C-alpha cells in the first residue's frame, strides 16, 4: 500500500466532492506495502471528522473491482472487521482519480504486529477460518488460482537471476506446481491470498482489521493458511512451531482441517515461500529506479525461508 503518485489540490477537491464531505482536513501518504497507492485521509461531515483510507487501485483492473467490493461487503455483513468501500455522494462505490479507479474505506483501529505472539496467531487463525466460512456467501467469484501466473512471472525475472538462484527458484516452483496438482481434491473456496502481518490490524491479541483483498480468488483453503503461516509463524527468519500450532489451533476453533490438509501444509508452505520469493523479485524489477520512499520487500528473506522450511 505505497503512495506511488502525488495528489494535487484538484485531486483532493475531487475526493472531497465524491465523498460528499464539507472539508478535507488531512491527507498523508502511506508507505507500507508494495502494490497500490494509498493515503490516510480525514474528511469532515456536518462538523465531525472521519478517518478514511484512499486507495488508487494499481494491482487489478477496473472490471475486477465489483468482485472485491462484493467480497468485502459480504465479510463485513458477517461482522468481520473488514473495511467496506464508502458509498459516494453519487451512489457509486468507486470513482476515477488520475487514470485509475479509486476507493474510500474507513480507517480501522489497531496496529500491525512486528513480533507475533501465540495469542495473536491464535486470533488471526480463527479470523481466517471465519473469513473462509463467510466468503462462501459472496455473490461474485474470481477464478485466478495463484499458481497459474508463476510461469509468466518466472520468465520475466529469469534473465536477471544468477545461475544458482535461477535453478533453485525453478526447482522450487516446479515442486510447488506438483504440490498443487497433488492437492487438487482438498477443500477450495475464496481465499485472502496475502494475509501477511501488514494486512492485519491487532489490539491486545484481538484482530481489529483485515485489509487488502486484491489477491483474493478461488483457491485451496490450505494454501491461504500456508501463506499466513509463513509470516505469522516466523520470527527473525526462523519458523516457529509453537506459533504455527497456535495459528492452526485458532483456525480449528471454527473449521476443522482434514488429515490430508494438515499433511499438505509443509509442502504448501514451501510453495508459498517460493511464490513470494518470485513475486518480490518481480516487484523489485518493476520498481527499479523508483523513489526510495516506496517500500520494497527483500526477496532474499523468502529464499532463506524456503531453505529453512526445506531443512537446508
Q: How far apart are CA 30 and CA 5, in angstroms?
A: 11
Tens digit of each residue's pLDDT (9 = 90 or more) over 237-252? 999 999 999 999 999 9
- The yes-or-no verdict on residue 294 having pLDDT over 60 is no
CATH number of 118-309: 3.90.1200.10
Strand partners, 163: none
Confidence (pLDDT) at 5: 73
Asked, colleague to colleague, whether 9-106 and 118-309 share their fold, the answer is no
- Check whether 35 has a pLDDT greater than 80: no
- Residue-wise pLDDT for 102-151, tens only, equals 999 999 999 999 999 999 999 999 999 999 999 999 999 999 888 999 99
- Contact between residue 23 and residue 95 where contact means Cβ atoms under 8 Å apart: no
Residue with cell string 487489478: 60
pLDDT number for residue 296 = 73
Q: Please, which residues have CB within 8 angstroms of residue 141's CB and are 6 or more apart in sequence?
A: 67, 190, 218
Q: Tens digit of pLDDT for each residue in 43-71?
A: 999 899 999 999 999 888 889 999 999 99
Determine the pLDDT at residue 33. Answer: 55
Residue 175 has pLDDT above 90, yes or no: yes
| pLDDT over 90 percentage in the chain | 85
Burial class (CB in 10 A: 0-12, 13-18, 19+), 223: buried
pTM over 0.75: yes
Residue 133 · residue 255 · CB < 8 Å: yes
Q: What DSSP designation does 130 have?
A: H
3-state secondary structure the chain: CCCCCCCCHHHHHHHHHHHCCCEEEEEEECCCCCCCEEEEEEEEECCEEEEEEEEECCCCCHHHHHHHHHHHHHHHHCCCCCCCCCCCCCCCCCEEECCEEEEEEECCCCECCCCCCHHHHHHHHHHHHHHHHHHCCCCCCCCCCHHHHHHHHHHHHHHHCCHHHHHHHHHHHHHHHHHHHHCCCCCEEEECCCCCHHHEEEECCEEEEECCCCCCEEEEHHHHHHHHHHHHCEECCEECHHHHHHHHHHHHCCCCCCHHHHHHHHHHHHHHHHHHHHHHHHHHHHHCCCCCCCCCCCHHHHHHHHHHHCCC
Residue 187's pLDDT is what?
98
Report residue 85's pLDDT band, with 50, 70 and 90 as the boundaries.
very high
> What pLDDT does 32 receive?
64
pLDDT band at residue 2 using 50, 70 and 90 as cut-offs: low
Q: Which fold has domain 9-106?
A: Phosphorylase Kinase; domain 1 (3.30.200)
198-250 tens-digit pLDDT: 999 999 999 999 999 999 999 999 999 999 999 999 999 999 999 999 999 99
Domain locations in the chain as residue ranges: 9-106, 118-309
- Is residue 4's pLDDT more than 70? no
Amino acid at each position: 500500500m505505497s503512495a506511488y503518485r502525488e495528489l494535487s489540490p484538484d485531486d483532493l477537491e475531487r475526493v472531497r466532492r465524491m465523498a460528499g464531505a464539507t472539508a478535507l482536513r488531512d491527507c498523508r501518504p502511506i508507505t507500507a506495502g508494495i502494490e497500490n497507492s494509498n493515503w490516510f485521509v480525514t474528511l469532515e461531515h456536518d462538523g465531525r471528522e472521519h478517518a478514511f483510507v484512499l486507495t488508487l487501485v494499481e494491482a487489478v483492473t477496473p472490471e475486477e473491482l465489483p468482485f472485491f467490493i462484493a467480497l468485502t461487503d459480504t465479510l463485513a455483513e458477517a461482522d468481520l472487521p473488514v473495511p467496506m468501500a464508502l458509498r459516494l455522494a453519487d451512489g457509486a462505490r468507486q470513482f476515477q482519480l488520475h487514470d485509475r479507479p479509486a476507493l474510500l474505506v474507513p480507517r480501522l483501529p489497531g496496529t500491525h504486529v512486528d513480533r507475533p505472539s501465540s495469542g495473536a496467531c491464535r486470533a488471526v487463525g480463527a479470523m481466517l477460518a471465519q473469513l473462509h466460512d463467510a466468503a462462501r456467501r459472496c455473490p461474485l467469484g474470481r477464478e485466478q488460482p495463484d499458481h497459474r501466473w508463476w510461469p509468466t512471472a518466472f520468465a520475466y525475472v529469469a534473465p536477471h537471476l544468477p545461475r544458482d538462484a535461477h535453478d533453485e527458484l525453478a526447482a522450487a516452483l516446479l515442486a510447488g506446481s506438483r504440490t498443487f496438482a497433488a492437492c487438487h481434491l482438498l477443500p477450495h473456496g475464496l481465499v485472502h491470498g496475502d494475509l501477511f502481518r501488514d494486512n492485519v490490524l491487532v489490539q491486545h491479541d484481538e484482530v481489529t482489521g483485515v485489509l487488502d483483498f486484491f489477491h483474493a480468488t478461488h483457491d485451496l483453503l490450505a494454501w491461504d493458511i500456508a501463506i499466513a503461516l509463513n509470516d505469522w509463524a516466523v520470527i527473525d527468519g526462523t519458523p516457529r512451531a509453537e506459533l504455527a500450532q497456535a495459528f492452526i489451533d485458532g483456525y480449528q476453533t471454527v473449521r476443522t482441517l482434514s488429515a490430508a490438509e494438515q499433511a499438505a501444509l509443509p509442502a504448501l508452505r514451501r510453495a508459498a515461500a517460493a511464490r513470494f520469493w518470485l513475486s518480490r523479485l518481480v516487484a523489485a524489477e518493476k520498481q527499479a529506479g523508483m523513489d526510495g520512499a516506496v517500500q520494497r520487500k527483500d526477496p532474499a528473506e523468502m529464499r532463506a525461508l524456503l531453505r529453512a522450511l526445506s531443512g537446508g
